[in-house]
Chain A
Amino acid sequence: MKTAVIVFPGSNCDRDMAVALETVTGKAPAMVWHRESELPDAIDFIALPGGFSYGDYLRSGAMAARSPILRAVGDAAARGVPVLGICNGFQVLTEAQLLPGALMRNAGLNFVCRTVPLKVENSQSLFTAGYQAGEEIHIPVAHHDGNYFADPETLDRIEGEGRVAFRYADRVNGSARDIAGVLNDAGNVLGMMPHPERAIDRAHGGTDGLRLFEAALGVLA
Protein backbone atom coordinates (compact mmCIF):
# COMPACT_ATOMS: atom_id res chain seq x y z
CA MET A 1 0.00 0.00 0.00
CA LYS A 2 1.73 3.14 -1.26
CA THR A 3 0.25 6.41 -0.07
CA ALA A 4 1.10 10.06 -0.66
CA VAL A 5 0.33 13.32 1.11
CA ILE A 6 0.46 16.43 -1.07
CA VAL A 7 2.12 19.32 0.74
CA PHE A 8 1.40 22.94 -0.20
CA PRO A 9 2.97 26.05 1.26
CA GLY A 10 0.65 26.71 4.18
CA SER A 11 -0.52 23.12 4.69
CA ASN A 12 -0.62 22.43 8.42
CA CYS A 13 -2.34 19.04 8.76
CA ASP A 14 0.08 17.21 6.48
CA ARG A 15 1.94 15.61 9.39
CA ASP A 16 -1.28 14.59 11.15
CA MET A 17 -2.37 12.99 7.88
CA ALA A 18 0.98 11.22 7.56
CA VAL A 19 0.61 9.84 11.10
CA ALA A 20 -2.90 8.59 10.28
CA LEU A 21 -1.75 6.88 7.08
CA GLU A 22 1.27 5.31 8.76
CA THR A 23 -0.81 4.15 11.73
CA VAL A 24 -3.13 2.26 9.43
CA THR A 25 -0.75 1.02 6.72
CA GLY A 26 2.40 0.59 8.82
CA LYS A 27 4.30 2.52 6.19
CA ALA A 28 5.12 6.22 6.04
CA PRO A 29 3.50 8.01 3.09
CA ALA A 30 5.49 9.88 0.45
CA MET A 31 5.29 13.60 1.18
CA VAL A 32 4.92 15.21 -2.25
CA TRP A 33 5.66 18.92 -2.66
CA HIS A 34 3.17 20.89 -4.73
CA ARG A 35 5.78 21.87 -7.31
CA GLU A 36 6.32 18.26 -8.34
CA SER A 37 4.62 17.32 -11.57
CA GLU A 38 4.53 13.58 -10.93
CA LEU A 39 3.38 11.31 -8.14
CA PRO A 40 5.43 8.30 -7.03
CA ASP A 41 4.89 5.27 -9.30
CA ALA A 42 2.05 2.86 -8.54
CA ILE A 43 0.51 5.11 -5.93
CA ASP A 44 -2.52 3.57 -4.18
CA PHE A 45 -3.93 6.47 -2.19
CA ILE A 46 -3.54 10.27 -2.25
CA ALA A 47 -4.41 12.66 0.57
CA LEU A 48 -4.75 16.43 0.33
CA PRO A 49 -4.34 17.74 3.87
CA GLY A 50 -5.90 20.61 5.75
CA GLY A 51 -4.31 23.96 6.29
CA PHE A 52 -4.21 27.35 4.64
CA SER A 53 -2.43 26.78 1.35
CA TYR A 54 -1.12 30.07 -0.03
CA GLY A 55 -2.65 31.85 2.93
CA ASP A 56 -6.11 31.35 1.41
CA TYR A 57 -5.21 34.08 -1.10
CA LEU A 58 -7.86 34.80 -3.73
CA ARG A 59 -10.10 31.98 -2.46
CA SER A 60 -9.38 29.05 -0.16
CA GLY A 61 -7.72 26.36 -2.24
CA ALA A 62 -7.67 28.44 -5.44
CA MET A 63 -3.90 28.69 -5.84
CA ALA A 64 -3.19 25.12 -4.74
CA ALA A 65 -5.72 23.82 -7.27
CA ARG A 66 -3.59 25.33 -10.05
CA SER A 67 -0.28 23.94 -8.81
CA PRO A 68 1.59 21.43 -11.02
CA ILE A 69 0.94 18.37 -8.82
CA LEU A 70 -2.82 18.81 -9.10
CA ARG A 71 -2.68 17.79 -12.75
CA ALA A 72 -1.09 14.50 -11.65
CA VAL A 73 -3.68 14.14 -8.89
CA GLY A 74 -6.46 14.69 -11.45
CA ASP A 75 -4.95 12.07 -13.76
CA ALA A 76 -4.64 9.58 -10.88
CA ALA A 77 -8.24 10.27 -9.83
CA ALA A 78 -9.38 9.62 -13.40
CA ARG A 79 -7.56 6.26 -13.26
CA GLY A 80 -9.54 5.41 -10.12
CA VAL A 81 -6.89 6.06 -7.45
CA PRO A 82 -8.64 7.04 -4.19
CA VAL A 83 -8.16 10.74 -3.37
CA LEU A 84 -9.12 12.12 0.04
CA GLY A 85 -9.27 15.89 0.60
CA ILE A 86 -9.69 17.09 4.15
CA CYS A 87 -10.69 20.67 4.96
CA ASN A 88 -8.37 22.79 2.79
CA GLY A 89 -7.92 19.63 0.72
CA PHE A 90 -11.69 19.61 0.10
CA GLN A 91 -11.50 23.27 -0.93
CA VAL A 92 -8.65 22.43 -3.31
CA LEU A 93 -10.65 19.56 -4.86
CA THR A 94 -13.67 21.79 -5.53
CA GLU A 95 -11.45 24.54 -6.94
CA ALA A 96 -9.79 21.94 -9.17
CA GLN A 97 -13.28 20.82 -10.24
CA LEU A 98 -12.62 17.27 -9.14
CA LEU A 99 -15.66 17.70 -6.89
CA PRO A 100 -18.81 19.77 -7.47
CA GLY A 101 -19.73 22.93 -5.58
CA ALA A 102 -17.71 25.46 -3.64
CA LEU A 103 -16.84 26.20 -0.01
CA MET A 104 -17.70 29.68 1.12
CA ARG A 105 -17.18 31.70 4.29
CA ASN A 106 -19.05 30.16 7.25
CA ALA A 107 -22.53 31.60 7.55
CA GLY A 108 -21.80 32.87 11.07
CA LEU A 109 -18.49 34.37 9.85
CA ASN A 110 -16.73 32.69 12.75
CA PHE A 111 -13.92 30.20 12.59
CA VAL A 112 -15.54 27.02 13.92
CA CYS A 113 -13.24 24.72 15.88
CA ARG A 114 -14.95 21.90 17.78
CA THR A 115 -15.94 18.28 17.55
CA VAL A 116 -19.20 17.93 15.67
CA PRO A 117 -21.67 15.09 15.22
CA LEU A 118 -21.84 13.79 11.65
CA LYS A 119 -24.40 11.51 10.08
CA VAL A 120 -22.99 8.90 7.72
CA GLU A 121 -25.20 9.23 4.65
CA ASN A 122 -23.49 6.78 2.35
CA SER A 123 -21.84 3.74 3.89
CA GLN A 124 -21.17 2.05 0.55
CA SER A 125 -18.22 4.10 -0.65
CA LEU A 126 -14.64 2.92 -0.38
CA PHE A 127 -14.08 5.59 2.27
CA THR A 128 -17.19 4.99 4.34
CA ALA A 129 -17.67 1.22 4.17
CA GLY A 130 -16.52 0.92 7.79
CA TYR A 131 -19.57 2.83 9.02
CA GLN A 132 -23.25 1.97 9.21
CA ALA A 133 -25.65 4.05 7.11
CA GLY A 134 -27.25 6.65 9.35
CA GLU A 135 -24.65 6.13 12.06
CA GLU A 136 -23.68 9.22 14.03
CA ILE A 137 -19.95 9.76 14.45
CA HIS A 138 -17.98 12.54 16.10
CA ILE A 139 -15.16 14.25 14.22
CA PRO A 140 -13.47 17.62 14.84
CA VAL A 141 -13.86 20.55 12.46
CA ALA A 142 -11.59 23.60 12.30
CA HIS A 143 -12.40 25.95 9.45
CA HIS A 144 -13.49 29.39 8.37
CA ASP A 145 -14.62 28.50 4.86
CA GLY A 146 -16.68 25.35 5.16
CA ASN A 147 -20.05 26.59 4.00
CA TYR A 148 -20.81 24.19 1.16
CA PHE A 149 -22.60 25.70 -1.80
CA ALA A 150 -23.89 24.24 -5.04
CA ASP A 151 -26.88 25.19 -7.17
CA PRO A 152 -30.11 23.31 -6.38
CA GLU A 153 -29.86 21.10 -9.49
CA THR A 154 -26.36 19.99 -8.51
CA LEU A 155 -27.49 19.37 -4.92
CA ASP A 156 -30.42 17.27 -6.13
CA ARG A 157 -28.14 15.32 -8.45
CA ILE A 158 -25.47 14.51 -5.87
CA GLU A 159 -28.10 13.61 -3.29
CA GLY A 160 -29.86 11.37 -5.81
CA GLU A 161 -26.61 9.66 -6.71
CA GLY A 162 -25.71 8.99 -3.08
CA ARG A 163 -22.71 11.27 -3.29
CA VAL A 164 -23.31 13.02 0.02
CA ALA A 165 -21.00 10.98 2.24
CA PHE A 166 -21.49 12.88 5.49
CA ARG A 167 -23.95 15.42 6.78
CA TYR A 168 -23.63 17.63 9.87
CA ALA A 169 -26.10 16.54 12.54
CA ASP A 170 -25.87 20.12 13.90
CA ARG A 171 -25.89 23.45 12.17
CA VAL A 172 -22.16 24.09 11.89
CA ASN A 173 -21.37 26.52 9.11
CA GLY A 174 -24.44 27.15 6.98
CA SER A 175 -23.67 24.40 4.45
CA ALA A 176 -26.36 23.70 1.89
CA ARG A 177 -28.41 20.77 3.21
CA ASP A 178 -25.81 20.43 6.00
CA ILE A 179 -23.44 18.69 3.62
CA ALA A 180 -20.09 17.91 5.25
CA GLY A 181 -18.54 15.55 2.71
CA VAL A 182 -19.03 14.86 -0.99
CA LEU A 183 -17.95 12.07 -3.35
CA ASN A 184 -17.19 12.39 -7.06
CA ASP A 185 -19.36 10.50 -9.53
CA ALA A 186 -17.00 7.51 -9.65
CA GLY A 187 -16.85 7.39 -5.84
CA ASN A 188 -13.05 7.42 -5.60
CA VAL A 189 -12.66 11.09 -4.62
CA LEU A 190 -13.96 12.28 -1.24
CA GLY A 191 -13.80 15.82 0.08
CA MET A 192 -14.89 16.62 3.63
CA MET A 193 -14.44 19.55 5.99
CA PRO A 194 -14.20 17.51 9.24
CA HIS A 195 -10.81 16.05 10.15
CA PRO A 196 -10.91 12.24 10.55
CA GLU A 197 -7.11 12.24 10.99
CA ARG A 198 -7.70 14.11 14.27
CA ALA A 199 -9.84 11.28 15.62
CA ILE A 200 -7.76 8.12 15.29
CA ASP A 201 -6.34 7.77 18.80
CA ARG A 202 -7.99 7.63 22.22
CA ALA A 203 -5.78 10.53 23.22
CA HIS A 204 -7.54 12.60 20.53
CA GLY A 205 -10.76 12.22 22.48
CA GLY A 206 -12.29 9.84 19.95
CA THR A 207 -11.42 7.30 17.29
CA ASP A 208 -14.35 7.65 14.90
CA GLY A 209 -12.01 8.78 12.14
CA LEU A 210 -10.00 5.59 12.18
CA ARG A 211 -12.59 3.50 10.33
CA LEU A 212 -12.46 5.87 7.37
CA PHE A 213 -8.75 5.23 6.90
CA GLU A 214 -9.13 1.51 7.58
CA ALA A 215 -11.85 1.19 4.96
CA ALA A 216 -10.12 3.38 2.38
CA LEU A 217 -6.78 1.66 2.86
CA GLY A 218 -8.32 -1.77 2.70
CA VAL A 219 -7.21 -3.08 6.07
CA LEU A 220 -10.60 -3.78 7.60
CA ALA A 221 -10.64 -7.11 9.37
Chain B
Amino acid sequence: MKVNVYVTLKPGVLDPQGKAIHHALEGLGFTGVADVRAGRFIELDVADDTSDADLDAMCAKLLANTVIENYRIERP
Protein backbone atom coordinates (compact mmCIF):
# COMPACT_ATOMS: atom_id res chain seq x y z
CA MET B 1 0.00 0.00 0.00
CA LYS B 2 1.03 3.57 -0.57
CA VAL B 3 1.38 5.65 2.57
CA ASN B 4 1.88 9.40 2.42
CA VAL B 5 3.98 11.15 5.00
CA TYR B 6 3.90 14.94 5.31
CA VAL B 7 6.76 16.52 7.22
CA THR B 8 6.29 20.15 8.17
CA LEU B 9 8.20 22.62 10.28
CA LYS B 10 6.73 23.13 13.73
CA PRO B 11 4.87 26.39 14.24
CA GLY B 12 7.28 28.98 15.55
CA VAL B 13 10.30 27.50 13.75
CA LEU B 14 11.53 30.06 11.25
CA ASP B 15 11.39 28.85 7.66
CA PRO B 16 13.91 30.75 5.51
CA GLN B 17 13.01 28.60 2.51
CA GLY B 18 9.32 29.40 2.83
CA LYS B 19 10.20 33.07 3.14
CA ALA B 20 12.25 32.98 -0.06
CA ILE B 21 9.40 31.25 -1.90
CA HIS B 22 7.03 33.89 -0.56
CA HIS B 23 9.25 36.69 -1.88
CA ALA B 24 9.54 34.96 -5.25
CA LEU B 25 5.76 34.65 -5.49
CA GLU B 26 5.43 38.35 -4.76
CA GLY B 27 8.06 39.01 -7.41
CA LEU B 28 5.86 37.16 -9.90
CA GLY B 29 3.01 39.49 -9.02
CA PHE B 30 1.08 37.12 -6.77
CA THR B 31 0.03 39.48 -4.03
CA GLY B 32 -2.22 38.46 -1.18
CA VAL B 33 -0.08 35.49 -0.12
CA ALA B 34 0.12 35.96 3.63
CA ASP B 35 2.73 33.30 4.40
CA VAL B 36 4.52 30.31 2.89
CA ARG B 37 5.85 27.29 4.80
CA ALA B 38 7.81 24.66 2.90
CA GLY B 39 7.76 21.02 3.97
CA ARG B 40 8.51 17.58 2.64
CA PHE B 41 6.29 14.90 1.16
CA ILE B 42 7.43 11.27 1.34
CA GLU B 43 5.60 8.39 -0.33
CA LEU B 44 6.19 4.96 1.19
CA ASP B 45 5.27 1.72 -0.56
CA VAL B 46 4.87 -0.72 2.33
CA ALA B 47 3.31 -4.11 3.04
CA ASP B 48 -0.44 -3.89 3.59
CA ASP B 49 -0.15 -5.18 7.14
CA THR B 50 2.36 -2.52 8.23
CA SER B 51 1.19 -1.32 11.63
CA ASP B 52 0.50 2.26 12.60
CA ALA B 53 3.14 1.88 15.29
CA ASP B 54 5.77 0.93 12.70
CA LEU B 55 4.84 3.85 10.46
CA ASP B 56 5.01 6.16 13.43
CA ALA B 57 8.42 4.81 14.40
CA MET B 58 9.72 5.35 10.84
CA CYS B 59 8.71 8.99 11.09
CA ALA B 60 10.00 9.56 14.60
CA LYS B 61 13.31 7.76 14.04
CA LEU B 62 14.23 9.06 10.61
CA LEU B 63 11.74 10.78 8.33
CA ALA B 64 11.19 13.76 10.63
CA ASN B 65 13.48 15.52 13.07
CA THR B 66 11.04 16.06 15.90
CA VAL B 67 13.17 18.86 17.34
CA ILE B 68 12.00 21.08 14.49
CA GLU B 69 9.41 19.12 12.52
CA ASN B 70 5.94 17.62 12.86
CA TYR B 71 4.73 14.75 10.72
CA ARG B 72 1.39 13.48 9.55
CA ILE B 73 0.81 9.97 8.20
CA GLU B 74 -1.93 9.35 5.67
CA ARG B 75 -2.73 5.73 4.91
CA PRO B 76 -5.33 4.64 2.37
Q: Scan A53-68; emit 1 where CB is below 8 A from any B CB, else 0.
A: 0000011001000100
Interface of B is mostly: helix
Of A19-27, A43-51, A104-112, A190-198, which binds chain B? A104-112
Contact in complex: A102, B16 (CB < 8 Å): no
Supposing A62-B62, A66-B62 touch, asked if A109 and B67 sit within 8 A by C-beta, the answer is: no
**For the complex, what is the distance from the CA of A52 to the CA of B67, rounded to whole Å?**
21
Interface size of A by Cβ–Cβ distance < 8 Å?
Answer: 20
Identify B17's interface contact among A59, A62, A101, A109, CB under 8 A. Answer: A109
Contact in complex: B68, A149 (CB < 8 Å): yes
Output the nearest chain B residue to A100 by Cβ-Cβ distance.
B67
> Is residue B28 within 8 Å, beta carbon to beta carbon, of the partner chain?
no
Q: Scan B1-40; emit 1 where CB is below 8 A from any A CB, else 0.
A: 0000000000001101100100000000000000000000
In the complex, 17 of the A-B residue pairs with CB atoms within 8 angstroms, ordered by the A residue number, are A58-B63, A59-B65, A62-B62, A62-B65, A66-B62, A100-B67, A101-B67, A102-B65, A104-B13, A104-B14, A104-B16, A107-B16, A108-B16, A149-B67, A150-B67, A151-B67, A174-B14
